[in-house]
């Protein structure tokens, strides 16, 4: 995918703990197929220097002095040929996990990961995988399983009201909804008033926000 097959995978470490940094660097350089090309103690100097020190994979800590590893990842993705970023952090809370992935991280490992697995993970990332610590993977998967916001709003509504709400939230005018459902304009208005009553909203937009799960984030 990148470079020649025989070349070593170039790794950069962004980690503020000098000890950890050194340990990782040592581990990587001691692994066949990997080479640590640079280490940085903060996101700013990493971003500034990255042009000249191109890496294939970046091991990124989240908690850094100044700019966070997540923000750095986001910044990195806006560039021409962004390296693959793997988060390596002590925290595994949902917020940081999902924010990291949204920012563009390809993997997410906890610092408790054994060295051997860490090395495997770097290779996996490079070859198109997305290694995650066990608990992380489960949370990511679980995030798909949350009942969709739709289900909540739908609870109290009658079948017809749900149909109306769906069209309503897609921006259709009353007239258009009436035509689609082949009912009268006044009927649509009645349904909508009932919907508003049940959802405790006063406008189409509030209803839409509830329907689509607007109260998130």
Partner DNA sequence: GGCAATATCCCCCTTTCGGGGGATTGAGGA
Partner DNA sequence: TCCTCAATCCCCCGAAAGGGGGATATTGCC
- Considering only residues 52 to 71 of the shown chain, the ones binding DNA according to CB under 7 A are none
Q: Determine if 184 is a binding residue for DNA (CB under 7 A).
A: yes
Between 94-103 and 69-77, two packed helices, what is the crossing angle to 10 degrees?
A: 20
Binding residue (CB under 8 A) for a copy of itself from 106, 109, 119, 195? 106
Range in contact with a copy of itself (rule: CB under 8 A) among 35-43, 60-68, 182-190, 206-214: 206-214
Q: Determine if 180 is a binding residue for DNA (CB under 7 A).
A: no
Q: Determine if 183 is a binding residue for DNA (CB under 7 A).
A: yes
* Alpha-carbon span 52 to 131, nearest angstrom: 27
Nearest alpha-carbon partner for 88 in 62, 67, 54: 62
* Alpha-carbon span 143 to 211, nearest angstrom: 19
Binding residue (CB under 8 A) for a copy of itself from 30, 33, 129, 184? 129
Chain contacts with a copy of itself (rule: CB under 8 A)? 98, 101-102, 104-107, 124, 127-132, 134-135, 137-138, 140-141, 144-145, 148, 150, 168-171, 173, 201-206, 208-209, 212-214, 217
């Amino acid at each position: 995918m990148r470079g020649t097959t025989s070349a070593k995978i170039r790794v950069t470490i962004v980690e503020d703990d000098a000890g950890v940094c050194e340990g990782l660097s040592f581990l990587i350089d001691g692994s066949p197929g990997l080479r640590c090309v640079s280490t940085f103690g903060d996101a700013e100097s990493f971003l500034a220097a990255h042009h000249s020190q191109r890496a294939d994979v970046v091991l990124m800590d989240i908690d850094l002095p100044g700019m966070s590893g997540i923000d750095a990842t986001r910044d990195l993705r806006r560039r021409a040929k962004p390296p693959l970023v793997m988060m390596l952090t002590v925290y595994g809370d949902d917020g940081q996990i999902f924010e990291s992935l949204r920012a563009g991280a390809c993997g997410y490992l906890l610092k408790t990961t054994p060295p051997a697995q860490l090395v495997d993970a770097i290779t996996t990332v490079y070859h198109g995988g997305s290694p995650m610590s066990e608990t992380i993977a489960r949370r990511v998967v679980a995030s798909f399983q949350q009942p969709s916001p739709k289900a909540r709003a739908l609870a109290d509504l009658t079948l017809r009201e749900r149909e109306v709400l769906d069209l309503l939230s897609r921006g259709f005018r009353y007239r258009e909804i009436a035509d689609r459902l082949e009912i009268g304009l006044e009927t649509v208005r009645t349904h909508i008033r009932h919907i508003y009553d049940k959802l405790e909203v006063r406008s189409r937009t509030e209803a839409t926000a509830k329907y689509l799960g607007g109260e998130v984030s």
